[in-house]
Chains A and B, each alone.
Chain A
Amino acid sequence: MALLDPIKVMLGRQPGRRPSDRSMDPAARAIHQAKKGGEGKKERVAAIKAERDLHRSHKWRNRRWASIIIVNLLFVLSFQFDVQLIEGSLTASRVIGFHFADLNAALQVMLAYKEILINLVIGTVTVLIMWWLLGGRTFCSWVCPYHLLAEIAEFIHLKLAAANIVRDFPLHRGLRTVLYAVFALLALVTGYTVFEAVSPVGILSRALIYGPGLALIWVAGLLLFEVFITRRAWCRYVCPIGLTYGFVGTTSPVHVKYNLKECLHEGDCRQVCMVPHVLEVTKKGYATLVNEGIGPDCTRCGLCVDICPTHSLTFDIKGLNKFTKND
Chain B
Amino acid sequence: MNSEPIPPKKLTRQQRRDRRAMLRSLGVGIGVIGAALLGFFPVVKEWMRRLRPPGALDEAPFLAACIKCGQCVQVCPVQAIKLGDLDEGYGVGVPYVDARAQACDFSCDAVQCVLACPTGALSHAINAKEEVTMGVARLARPSACLARLGKGVKGVARGRDFGGVHRYAEIDRWTPVPVAEYEYDLELCDLCARECPIEGAITIERLNIDDRDLRGSPVVFDKCVGCGMCEMMCPTDPPAIVVDIRESRKEA
Q: Mark B99-124, 1 if CB is under 8 A from A, else 0.
A: 00000000000000000101111001
Q: Are A92 and B25 in contact (CB under 8 A)?
A: no
Contacts of B127 in A (CB 8 A): none
Q: Give every chain B residue within 8 A of A195 (Cβ-Cβ).
A: 36
Q: Does A27 contact B (CB under 8 A)?
A: no
Measured CB to CB, the closest approach of chain B to A120, in angstroms, equals: 5
| Residue in B29, B64, B69, B86 whose beta carbon sits within 8 Å of that of A93 in the complex | B69
Stretch at the interface among A40-48, A131-139, A178-186: A178-186
Whether the Cβ atoms of A218 and B64 lie closer than 8 Å is: no
B209 at interface, CB cutoff 8 A = no
> Which of B71-79, B158-166, B167-175 is near enough to bind chain A?
B71-79
- A-binding segment of B87-95, B176-184, B198-206, B233-241: B87-95
- How would residues 55 to 91 of chain B score, 1 for a CB under 8 Å from any chain A CB and 0 otherwise? 0000011011111111101110000000101110110
Specify the main secondary structure of chain B where it touches its partner.
helix
Cross-chain contact B24 with A192 (CB below 8 angstroms): no
- The answer to whether A196 and B37 have CB atoms under 8 Å apart is no
Provide the residues of chain B in CB contact with A282, threshold 8 Å.
none
Pick the contact of A218 from B69, B86, B120, B121 — CB < 8 Å? B86
Mark contacts of B181-221 with chain A using CB atoms, 8 A cut-off: 1 yes-contact digit, 0 otherwise: 00000000000000000000000000000000000000000
Interface residues on A, range: 35 or more
B70:A89 contact, CB within 8 angstroms: yes
Pairwise interchain contact A192-B74, C-beta atoms closer than 8 A: no
Report if A288 contacts B (CB, 8 A).
Answer: no
Chain B residue numbers with a CB within 8 Å of A263 are none
Cα A198 to Cα B86 in complex, Å, equals 9
Complex CA distance for A196 and B94, rounded to whole angstroms: 10
Q: How far is the CB of A295 from chain B (nearest CB, A)?
A: 21
Is A215 within 8 A of B119, CB to CB?
no
B67 adjacent to A214 (CB under 8 Å)? no
B21 touching A171, Cβ below 8 Å: yes
Contacts of A175 in B (CB 8 A): 25, 28-29
Q: What residues of B have a CB within 8 angstroms of the CB of A244 in the complex?
A: none
Residues in chain B near residue A171, CB distance under 8 A = 21, 24-25, 28
Question: Given the known A-B contacts A113-B61, A120-B118, A237-B25, are A209 and B70 also in contact in the complex, defined by CB atoms under 8 Å?
Answer: yes
Cβ contact within 8 Å between A91 and B25 = no
Q: Annotate B228-249 by CB proximity to A: 1 below 8 A, 0 otherwise.
A: 0000000000000000000000
One digit per residue, 1 when the CB lies within 8 angstroms of any chain B CB and 0 when it does not, for chain A 105-122 equals: 110010011110101100
In the bound complex, residues from chain A placing their C-beta under 8 Å from that of B32 are 179, 198, 238
| B18-52 CB contacts (< 8 Å) to partner A | 21-22, 24-25, 28-29, 32-33, 35-40, 43
**How far is A91 from B61 in the complex, measured between Cα atoms in Å?**
18
Q: Specify which chain B residues have a CB less than 8 angstroms from the CB of A179 in the assembled complex.
A: 29, 32-33
Where the two chains meet, the residues of A that have a C-beta atom closer than 8 Å to any C-beta of B are 79, 87-89, 91-94, 99, 101-102, 105-106, 109, 112-115, 117, 119-120, 123, 169-172, 174-175, 178-179, 182-183, 186, 190-198, 202-203, 206, 209-210, 213-215, 217-218, 230, 233, 237-238
Please give 4 more A-B residue pairs, beta carbons under 8 A apart, in addition to A101-B67, A117-B119, A206-B68: A109-B65, A197-B35, A197-B92, A202-B68
